[in-house]
Every structure is written in structure tokens, then in C-alpha cells.
């Protein structure tokens, strides 16, 4: 029966998401990223890892995923970080980004993970020279705050809305794969 061959292939090869991803680790955390996301040198010491997310058809630039880790108990609370990220987005209808964000909390391998999904005009903050960076309309952010005794860790994927939309399933798979590495 054909379905048995398919089932056997899944058992032998693992799920398609696992077959198309790479297990990696950074700052005491293990996770999976898709093979097409390229790890690039971190642009600052605050970044524990950084990846380029390939652009979706029609988008003129790639997205990026950054893992931040500031040390045990550092980096602020979940709410502090959500508020800071909300402040980096402006909504076309002028409502507060807090109202536009989709925020969920889950437990993954004994880690409490808060995930935020937000679209709008993105202004990333200050450049290295202390100047405000350029406002980027039509951007999207997927972010995860991972709480554990040795954390917190902060994943933040940002880029053009279609690019990050295309990466959402991979981001969700990354979150589902989180585990401590000691």
C-alpha cells in the first residue's frame, strides 16, 4: 500500500521540517534553523547569533534573525521587551502596536516561551553613530522570549512582511525545537 511507503519514509527520514533544518546551539540554547537561513557574523557583541533569512519573491531585501543573550537574569522582563518592541512599530491605522500584536505563551521542553507577531512601519532604534535608523514601512517581526533559570534569551526575526511571513513556519519550528544545552 502506498501510504505505508510514505509512513516508512517519514519514520526513516524524520519530518520534512527536521530534514530541511540544521540543529545548532548558541549561548547555552539548542534549536533548529532551516538550511536556507545563513548564519552570518554578528554585527555587535550583544548578538549571540545572527542569520540571514532569504527574501520572498517580490521583496527587495532579506530578513534577519538575531539571538540576544545578555547573561543570566539580564535583558529585562518579558513585558519590558514587548513594550520596547511595540515602540519600534507604528500602525497604519495609528492604533497602539500593543493592540495589533499577536502574543502567545507556551512551554517548550520546560522553557516558558512568549512569542510576539507584529506588522507595521518598523524603526529599529539607534545606529552605532547614535542616529535614529530609517523607518521601514511594511515590515514584520516574529520574536520569542525564552525564560529559564540560565536565561532569558531573545530571538527576533525582522524584515519585509512577505519575507517574514514566508519564514513564519520555520520560526515556529525553531521555537518548537528549543532546549537547554549545558
Average pLDDT over residues 104-121: 97
pTM of the model: 0.86
For residue 118, the model assigns a pLDDT of: 98
Whether pLDDT at 126 is above 90: no
Asked if residues 113 and 144 have their Cβ atoms less than 8 Å apart, the reply is yes
Query: What pLDDT is attached to residue 12?
Result: 40
Q: What local confidence, expressed as pLDDT, does residue 131 receive?
A: 54
List, in sequence order, every residue forming a beta bridge with 128; answer none if it has no partner: none
Q: What is the pLDDT of residue 11?
A: 40
DSSP category for residue 97: H
Higher pLDDT, residue 11 or 170: 170
Average pLDDT rounded to a whole number, residues 96-118: 97
CA dist 90 to 13, 106, 159, Å? 43, 27, 15
Contacts of 129 (CB under 8 A, 6+ apart): none
Per-residue pLDDT tens for 46-83?
899 999 999 999 999 999 999 999 999 899 999 999 99
- What's the burial of 175, exposed, middle or buried (CB within 10 Å: 0-12/13-18/19+)? buried
What average pLDDT is seen over the chain?
A: 89
Rg, C-alpha atoms of the chain: 17
SS (H, E, C) 29-63: EEEEEECCCEECCCCCCCEEEEEEECCCCCCCCCE
CATH superfamily membership of 17-180: Mog1/PsbP, alpha/beta/alpha sandwich (3.40.1000.10)
**The predicted structure's pLDDT at residue 10:** 41
179 vs 92: CA distance, rounded Å: 37
Is residue 65 within 8 A of residue 121, CB to CB? The reply is: no
pLDDT of the residue at 181: 86
Amino acid at each position: 500500500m502506498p501510504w505505508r511507503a510514505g509512513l516508512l519514509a517519514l519514520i526513516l527520514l524524520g519530518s520534512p521540517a527536521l530534514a530541511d533544518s540544521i540543529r545548532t546551539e548558541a549561548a547555552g540554547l539548542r534549536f533548529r534553523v532551516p538550511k536556507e537561513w545563513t548564519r552570518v557574523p554578528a554585527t555587535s557583541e550583544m548578538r549571540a547569533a545572527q542569520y540571514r533569512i532569504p527574501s520572498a519573491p517580490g521583496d527587495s531585501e532579506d530578513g534577519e534573525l538575531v539571538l540576544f543573550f545578555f547573561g543570566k537574569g539580564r535583558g529585562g522582563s518579558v513585558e519590558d521587551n514587548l513594550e520596547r518592541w511595540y515602540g519600534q512599530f507604528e500602525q497604519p491605522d495609528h492604533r497602539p502596536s500593543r493592540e495589533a500584536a499577536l502574543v502567545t505563551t507556551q512551554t517548550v521542553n520546560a522553557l516558558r516561551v512568549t512569542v510576539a507577531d507584529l506588522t507595521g512601519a518598523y524603526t529599529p532604534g539607534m545606529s552605532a553613530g547614535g542616529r535614529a535608523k530609517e523607518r521601514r514601512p511594511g515590515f514584520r517581526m516574529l520574536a520569542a522570549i525564552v525564560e529559564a533559570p540560565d536565561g532569558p534569551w531573545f530571538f527576533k526575526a525582522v524584515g519585509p512582511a512577505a519575507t517574514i511571513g514566508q519564514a513564519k513556519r520555520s520560526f515556529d519550528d525553531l521555537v518548537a525545537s528549543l532546549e537547554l544545552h549545558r
